[in-house]
Amino acid sequence: MADTSKPILYGYFRSTAAYRVRIAANLKGVDVQHRYVHLRKGEQKGDQYRNVNPAGLVPYWVEGELQLAQSLAIIDYLDERYPDPPLLPSDSRSRAICREISQVICCDIHPIGNLRVLNRLIEIGVEDEVRAEWSRHWIRLGFDAVEARLRRLPGPFAFGGAPSLADICLVPQVFNARRFGVDLEPYRRIREIDAAAASVEAFATARPDRQADAD
């Protein structure tokens, strides 16, 4: 029997948005019930999931009467509800820059290459390699901006020695970049952050290949 006292996270192992929330929940030490929605099989379009989340997207967070969509909103909620460790820097300027990096990833890169956009390209007859190059183009464009910003900031993470919201958003996008064959050699700081995160258990256990629904 499911433990109804735990928050529920609806996700898909390869969704970078759900990946972000897994990392954040792990960093906060929140014990989560994972429920899986297989996006490739179209389970997000079925009545069973639409009755939970009418938008048919993941991630989706359910905690008592609270139901919350959108990864950044969920992560912001977790940061307020569980303030230690904080996911934003302590000073206002750094917090603004941290949000900027996160939004480049979540608002500029991710929406253009998510599954429903790629599926629409299939529907209008765009061939496989053209779709892959579409994704690579937008990832590279976003990474160029993120890398330039990160080179002005201390490592090993985006803001020094501790992970922040920027790292939570960046690491899943690096996973996606590798899936689509993006050359990461020009992105020294992005690679450094990804390597630093790999040694942190909260990031490692959130990896797609370590999820129960991985296939």
Q: Which of 91, 117, 112 is nearest to 39 (CA)?
A: 117
Could you tell me how many residues make up the chain? 215
Cβ within 8 Å of residue 99, ≥6 positions away: 88, 165
Predicted confidence at residue 4, as pLDDT, reads 67
Distance, CA of 62 to CA of 52 (rounded, Å):
9
Cβ within 8 Å of residue 189, ≥6 positions away: 147, 150, 151, 153, 155
Cβ within 8 Å of residue 93, ≥6 positions away: none
Every domain of the chain with CATH number 3.40.30.10 lies at 8-85
**CA distance between the termini of the chain:** 25
The widest CA-to-CA distance across the chain, in whole angstroms, is 50
What's the gap between Cα 22 and its chain centre? 8
Other Cβ atoms closer than 10 A to 49: 21
What's the gap between Cα 107 and its chain centre? 11
pLDDT by residue for the chain (215 residues), tens only, comes to 455 689 999 999 999 999 999 999 999 999 999 999 999 999 999 999 999 999 999 999 999 999 999 999 999 999 999 999 999 999 999 999 999 999 999 999 998 888 888 888 888 888 988 888 999 999 999 999 999 999 999 999 999 999 999 999 999 999 999 999 999 999 999 999 999 999 999 999 999 999 999 99
Predicted confidence at residue 156, as pLDDT, reads 97
Distance, CA of 38 to CA of 56 (rounded, Å):
11
The hierarchical CATH code for the domain 92-202 is: 1.20.1050.10
On whether the 8-85 domain is CATH 3.90.1150.200, my answer is no
Every domain of the chain with CATH number 1.20.1050.10 lies at 92-202
